[in-house]
Amino acid sequence: GTGSAAAVPINADFDIAYVTPVTLGTPPQTLQLDFDSGSSDLWVFSSHLPTSQIRGQQIYAPNKSSTAKLLDGHSWSITYGDGSGSRGNVYTDNVTVGGLTVGSQAIECAQQVSSSFTTEDHIDGLVGLGFSTLNTVSPKSQLTFFDNAKSNLDSPVFTADLKYKQAGTYDFGFIDEAKYTGEITYVPVNSDPGYWTFPSSGYAVGSGNFTASSISGIADTGTSLVYLPTAIVTAYYRQVQGATNSRSYGGYVFPCASTLPTFTFGVGAARFTIPAAYLNYAPVTPGSATCFGGLQSSSGVGINIWGDVALKAAFVVFNGGNPPTIGWAAK
């Protein structure tokens, strides 16, 4: 089988995150979920949440689904790289994404969510697309939607075609040749950390020379920005008039009117250029003349992250075969 579903930016002005419609249970309950290759829990806003923590989100009510089953004695608790988090109990039920159905998928029902989830009213939960070793359900960890679907897929892959300020697509089970140009460059994935960890072959700032350098990082659809080693990031902002690394704003900021260079990264012999516009993430506060950069230092994270700012500059194949690989193509 295959599936195909839209990835819609949650904000009309800035690509903070993308949500995809997911149908749960019987009769169908449709929620807008954030597909996240940087984690491995499928969790939803639910009828088990205090109403004080719900602000317009859609909820999943397992007690209204005739196919829902409590996973007795199981719980989950997750904290994301940005400090947000949630926890709760677990049901299994049918889950459908873009025509692809998994029966008996673990649906982690939130009983508590952190304030940043409560205030983000366009995200009703997450679908983890990382490796199932990261799943937080206890005492028996659960499989991701992708792992559950894999054996029924025409090909054990999902692809991300994220776009700048417009809807893109997540496809499951097939590679749509209409979504990319040229060849797909595949590189090995180290799944031991539980992430889609792959080697980049180097970088260039604007029209400058390409610096060959092996950079290990993760492809993370759930992270908005790109986080790279300080040496690379300082080389980039040296080319931006008025840029500074702001302790108060927690990263590199610059005058919104500044001209930004592009940023090029390598995957094998292939080169992908992130347009300057993608690297002006957003004003630090609404209407401010100071803007926050889409490229930030990974020194605080410990791992380099190729988030949405980079992913939307390419067509990306997450190959869940044995061994796993990741493919990058121009579009």
Ligand X SMILES: O=C(NNC1=NCCC1)c1ccc(Br)cc1
Instruction: Name which of 21 and 81 has its Cβ closer to ligand X.
Output: 81
Annotated catalytic residue, options 15, 36, 124, 161: 36
Provide the minimum distance between the beta carbon of 194 and ligand X in the complex, in angstroms, as a whole number. Answer: 9
Instruction: Name which of 224 and 262 has its Cβ closer to ligand X.
Output: 224
Q: 191 by DSSP, 3-state: which?
A: coil
Provide the minimum distance between the beta carbon of 81 and ligand X in the complex, in angstroms, as a whole number. Answer: 2
Instruction: Name which of 10 and 301 has its Cβ closer to ligand X.
Output: 301
Those residues whose C-beta lies under 8 Å from the C-beta of residue 316, and which sit 6 or more positions away, are 159, 160, 161, 219, 326, 327, 328, 329
Provide the minimum distance between the beta carbon of 258 and ligand X in the complex, in angstroms, as a whole number. Answer: 27
Query: Burial, 322: exposed, middle or buried (Cβ in 10 Å; 0-12, 13-18, 19+)?
Result: exposed
Instruction: Name which of 62 and 222 has its Cβ closer to ligand X.
Output: 222
- Asked about 192 being catalytic, the answer comes back as no
- Between CA 105 and CA 29 the distance in angstroms is 14
Residue type, 124: D
CB 14 within 8 A of CB 282: yes
Distance, CA of 100 to chain centre = 20
CB 2 within 8 A of CB 72: no
Number of H helices, E strands in the chain: 4, 24
Instruction: Name which of 143 and 225 has its Cβ closer to ligand X.
Output: 225
Instruction: Name which of 36 and 108 has its Cβ closer to ligand X.
Output: 36
Provide the minimum distance between the beta carbon of 193 and ligand X in the complex, in angstroms, as a whole number. Answer: 8
Q: 179 by DSSP, 3-state: which?
A: helix
Provide the minimum distance between the beta carbon of 65 and ligand X in the complex, in angstroms, as a whole number. Answer: 25
- Tokens 């719980």, located at residue: 75
- Between CA 76 and CA 239 the distance in angstroms is 45
- Among candidates 94, 88, 92, which has minimal Cα distance to 125? 88
Q: CB nearest ligand X: which residue?
A: 81
- Asked about 220 being catalytic, the answer comes back as yes
Helices (H), 154-273: 230-237
**Chain contacts with ligand X (rule: CB under 6 A):** 36, 38-39, 80-82, 84, 195, 218, 220, 222-223, 301, 303, 305
Q: What are phi and psi of 113, to 5 degrees?
A: -130, 155
Provide the minimum distance between the beta carbon of 19 and ligand X in the complex, in angstroms, as a whole number. Answer: 12
CB 291 within 8 A of CB 263: no
- Among candidates 14, 12, 19, which has minimal Cα distance to 34? 19
- Between CA 203 and CA 211 the distance in angstroms is 5
Provide the minimum distance between the beta carbon of 205 and ligand X in the complex, in angstroms, as a whole number. Answer: 23
Lookup: tokens for 1: 């089988």
Annotated catalytic residue, options 34, 124, 220, 308: 220
Catalytic positions are 36, 220
